[in-house]
Structure 1
Amino acid sequence: MNSASFATVPPQTAPDALAALWREAGMPPEALGHLTLTGADPVLPSSFAIGTAAQTSLGASALAAAALWAQRTGNWQGVAVDMRHAMAEFRSERYLRVKGGAAPELWDKIAGLYPCGDGRWVRLHTNFPHHRDGVLKLLHCAHDKDAVRAALSKWKAEDFEAAASDAGMVVAAMRTYDEWQAHPQAQALRGLPPVIIERIGDAPPMPLPAFAPQAEINVDARPLSGVRVLDFTRIIAGPVAGRTLAAHGADVLLVTAAHLPSIPPLVIDTGRGKRSCQLDLRDADDKRALHKLLHGADVVVQGYRPNGLAELGVGAEAAARARPGIVYVSLSAYGHVGPWAGKRGFDSLVQTATGFNDDEARAAGSTEPKPLPAQVLDHAAGYLLAFGAMAALHRRAVEGGSWHVRVSLAQVGQWLRGLGRLPDGFSVPDQHIDEISDLLEVQESGFGELTVVRHAAQLSATPAYWALPSEPLGTHAAEWLPR
């Protein structure tokens, strides 16, 4: 598709896109009258409406917080989101500064796109040591970009993608959008919304405790005050969901284990507002500690490989039996149905596999693959996960029930495409941190002084903020705070 061929497809407006999400989630329509959205695409160079995606997903999460506030107090509040600010928050990991200097390196040195012997491209994601080592074992080469390039020249792109996937590695062959549309996985996802909210069990209605009338002027009272969230996530999308719930007052407890790899700058950036404990679910005592936490939780957010937690006894159905009324939130790469339902993946890989890298290259006149100028699928998924969690809490208060919220990066990509294309998308320059300095703030943390992007949603009665600083993994005890 070239720029002329999508010039006649008008982009969807952010208010319309948000209203569609809102209706699909079964949320009260009067809320939309309290929302103000400012700004317009393009904000960053892209042929896709990524600013609209940022503003819409982030705005939906903030409006859901306002709806919970109205449910608890009887009072609505104004919600405002500026597109430029939302787009900056979608690149929060890029703008992170630690002790006045750059954050630790995000990417492994061989991660990225490579041409294969059949003239097609593959993208490798090697940020975790076991993924890096597994790819190098398949390629029989050294940890060096030139060596990897030479080794991949002997492979066909889709053959290497399949071999890597069979070995549990994370690799994507680059496809055109038409090729992706013909793929069985794309066909399985067709027609699915970006956020699926399903009732999976019975429980009586559970409204969040009402606030006293004066609570609306009490800075300690926020929409999610008293809500407990177990956060089993890593990298960007899931951790952004937990960070968002924490910004609206939830007690978010991140659960990791000492043997699991992590990416330091993402831990720092997405750890704001959370507590962090370590439990090894292969250990009987730690598993009992987890089940005790589960019985006190309102929300579980998990982003591990499909069925990974279910195999450890804490999947959605088991959680609903153990804790009727739970809101269980699941993130996957390619969706919960179709032949790739169990396939591992990350934002950059899903962009490559589903045609975004090819479309952006064509629109920009580039002969090489071109990624979106942000991890848009990850960040949008993060805010949509938070939105789905709060929508389910809102419905639980009225309807009762246990709920399962599902979001996948591929479905978010499908939604992003539905927002339209921009024929002038590459008419704006990229943004440097100096150009968004008005959107930054300085915070103390367990890693030293941080410069971070402020939350882009403005709530008139309960401003979003992170009451706790980012801390190293495992800093806190595996227990809930008093309500």
Structure 2
Amino acid sequence: MPTPTITPATRPSPDEAVAGLWQAAGLPAAALGRLQLGGADPVLPSSFAVGTAAQASLGAAALAAAALWQQRSGRWQDVAVEMRHALAEFRSERYLRVDGAPWPEFRDPLSRLFRCGDGRWVRLHANFPHHRDGVLRLLGCANDVAAVQAALQKWEAEAFETAASEAGLVVAAMRSFEAWDRHPQGQALHGMPPLTIERIGEAPPQPLPDLPATGARPLTGVRVLDFTRIIAGPVAGRTLAAHGADVLLVTAAHLPAIMPLVIDTGRGKRSCQLDLRDPDDKHAMHKLLHGADVLIQGYRPQGLAELGVGPQAAARARPGIVYVTLSAYGHTGPWAGKRGFDSLVQTASGFNHAEAQAAGSDTPQPLPAQVLDHAAGYLLALGAMAALHRRAGEGGSWHVRVSLAQTGQWLRGLGRLEGGMEIPDQRFEDVADLMVALPSGFGALGVVSHAARLSETPAQWALPSVPLGTHMPEWLPRA
């Protein structure tokens, strides 16, 4: 079933977009009057309401922090988000500076779109060496853009997408919105909300610890296990850390990482390394789980479950856990187990085609930011805080689910903009007033400040970004 056409008259306002997210999260409607949103689309060159998506997702997450603050302190506070600032934070990795300089380009040359023999496009993801090498083995060619282009002339786009998926690789054939709406995965997601929060186990109510008299923030004393990489999941952990949570990033030495993303999203977190294939490390992880309030995971579908740390197992081991899952294409439908990243989901689900049409181009066009990643990150944080709010009053263990594809479906629902592609792109100089200086384990950082302004508990990152594995796998004493 196709998505209904949204006209300028029916396009949701940012306030209406927040209200929709708030309803999906099941949080008290009275809080909505505490949020002030400034600015209007378009701010970046796009035919989509990417500014509304940034402002609404980031604002809803900040308002959820204010709701937890009210639950713990008895007092409301005001939240304000400017659209320009929200969009700058949606491109935070682009504006990162280390010792005054941008990070060198980290994207592999093969991470791009190629034409196949049937004239259609496919997007490859080669930023992880094992993904790049797997594609080269499948194509039987050298690690060279021209060689890959020649090899793909022997393939039809969807046939290569299927073969790559069956090999555990990440490739997406470009589709129009109409084709995506006909696709079985597009049909499986039709009508689903951008986030779901499901009770998965029984536990008594667990109000958050009492706030200390001074220096308290909404998530002071909350412990978060962060099993995520790249952008969406790490943004969720960075957001929870900004509101006071003790966020412990868990990685493993054998897993590849993209360093500028580690630096940008590592603000406020501690970082340890555990190999869950090792019995001793797995025991250490279970000890952490027993002390955790929230677990966020963004690995391939069923990846942690195969290691004994799926949502049901976690709820049995730690009744009252809030388990937060990110996937590429959703938890239902034929692609529920398919790997993916923002750029690939944009390609597969119609955004690159739609932006090209709006630009009058026959070359696929990306959104002007990793919008699906960043929006999903704030939706993950929103869901985590909403579940903590429910746990305090209702008890239970909770499973929050967000996918990049559902986030894209939500973005489509915010409507299109006439003339949006004609807006000039933001430069670094245009957001310089939104940058702040922070120390780190990598050098002096210049980063985009948090776009949500809370009147009583300003967001801040109390800990610097550090190299992976800097800390021991243990919790800090609860404040």
Structure-1-length-normalised TM-score: 0.97
| 1:378 aligns to 2:386 (yes or no) | no
Q: In the alignment, residue 52 of structure 2 is paired with which amino acid?
A: T
- Deviation, 1:11, is 2.3
Partner of 2:224: 229
Partner of 1:175: 175
| 1:157 aligns to 2:152 (yes or no) | no
Cα distance in 1 for residues equivalent to 2:117 and 2:9: 36
- Deviation, 1:20, is 1.2
Give matches, 1:33-432, under 5 Å.
Answer: 33-211=33-211, 215=213, 218=214, 220-432=215-427
Extract unaligned runs of 5+ from structure 1. none
Cα pair 1:11 1:49 within 8 Å, conserved: no
- Deviation, 1:257, is 0.3
Q: Deviations over 1:142-185 (max 9, x none)?
A: 11111111111121100110111010000000001000000000
Q: In the alignment, residue 328 of structure 1 is paired with which amino acid?
A: Y
- Deviation, 1:46, is 0.4
Cα distance in 2 for residues equivalent to 1:211 and 1:288: 31
CA 8–444 in structure 1, closer or farther in 2 if over 3 Å, else same: closer
Cα distance in 2 for residues equivalent to 1:348 and 1:160: 17
Cα pair 1:7 1:423 within 8 Å, conserved: no
Cα distance in 2 for residues equivalent to 1:89 and 1:475: 26
Q: In the alignment, residue 446 of structure 1 is paired with which amino acid?
A: G
Cα pair 1:105 1:265 within 8 Å, conserved: no
Cα pair 2:114 2:149 within 8 Å, conserved: yes
> Residue 240 of structure 2 aligns to a residue in which SS?
helix
Give matches, 1:4-19, under 5 Å.
Answer: 8=8, 10-19=10-19
Aligned length: 474
Extract unaligned runs of 5+ from structure 2. none
Cα distance in 2 for residues equivalent to 1:470 and 1:10: 42
Cα distance in 1 for residues equivalent to 2:283 and 2:71: 34
Cα pair 1:299 1:327 within 8 Å, conserved: yes
Cα distance in 1 for residues equivalent to 2:357 and 2:7: 14
Cα pair 1:327 1:403 within 8 Å, conserved: yes
> Residue 400 of structure 2 aligns to a residue in which SS?
strand
Cα distance in 2 for residues equivalent to 1:42 and 1:150: 39
Cα pair 1:96 1:453 within 8 Å, conserved: yes
Cα distance in 1 for residues equivalent to 2:166 and 2:407: 25
Cα distance in 2 for residues equivalent to 1:106 and 1:444: 22
Of all paired residues, the percent bearing the same amino acid is 74
Q: Deviations over 1:231-267 (max 9, x none)?
A: 0000000000000000000000000000000111100
Cα pair 1:240 1:270 within 8 Å, conserved: yes
**Out of 470, 476, 479, which is 1:475 matched to?**
470
Structure-2-length-normalised TM-score: 0.98
Cα distance in 2 for residues equivalent to 1:110 and 1:311: 31
Cα distance in 2 for residues equivalent to 1:7 and 1:72: 42
> Residue 309 of structure 1 aligns to a residue in which SS?
helix
Cα distance in 2 for residues equivalent to 1:104 and 1:470: 18
Q: In the alignment, residue 284 of structure 2 is paired with which amino acid?
A: A
**Out of 457, 460, 482, which is 2:455 matched to?**
460
Q: In the alignment, residue 352 of structure 1 is paired with which amino acid?
A: T
Cα distance in 2 for residues equivalent to 1:8 and 1:266: 36
CA 296–8 in structure 1, closer or farther in 2 if over 3 Å, else same: closer
- Deviation, 1:10, is 4.0
Q: In the alignment, residue 342 of structure 1 is paired with which amino acid?
A: G
Q: In the alignment, residue 341 of structure 1 is paired with which amino acid?
A: A
- Deviation, 1:139, is 1.1
Q: Deviations over 1:252-289 (max 9, x none)?
A: 00000000001111001000000000000000000000
Cα distance in 1 for residues equivalent to 2:44 and 2:89: 13
Q: In the alignment, residue 304 of structure 1 is paired with which amino acid?
A: Y
CA 366–276 in structure 1, closer or farther in 2 if over 3 Å, else same: same
Cα pair 1:11 1:422 within 8 Å, conserved: no
Cα pair 2:211 2:220 within 8 Å, conserved: no
> Residue 406 of structure 1 aligns to a residue in which SS?
strand
CA 191–98 in structure 1, closer or farther in 2 if over 3 Å, else same: same
- Deviation, 1:344, is 0.1
CA 7–236 in structure 1, closer or farther in 2 if over 3 Å, else same: same
- Deviation, 1:98, is 1.0
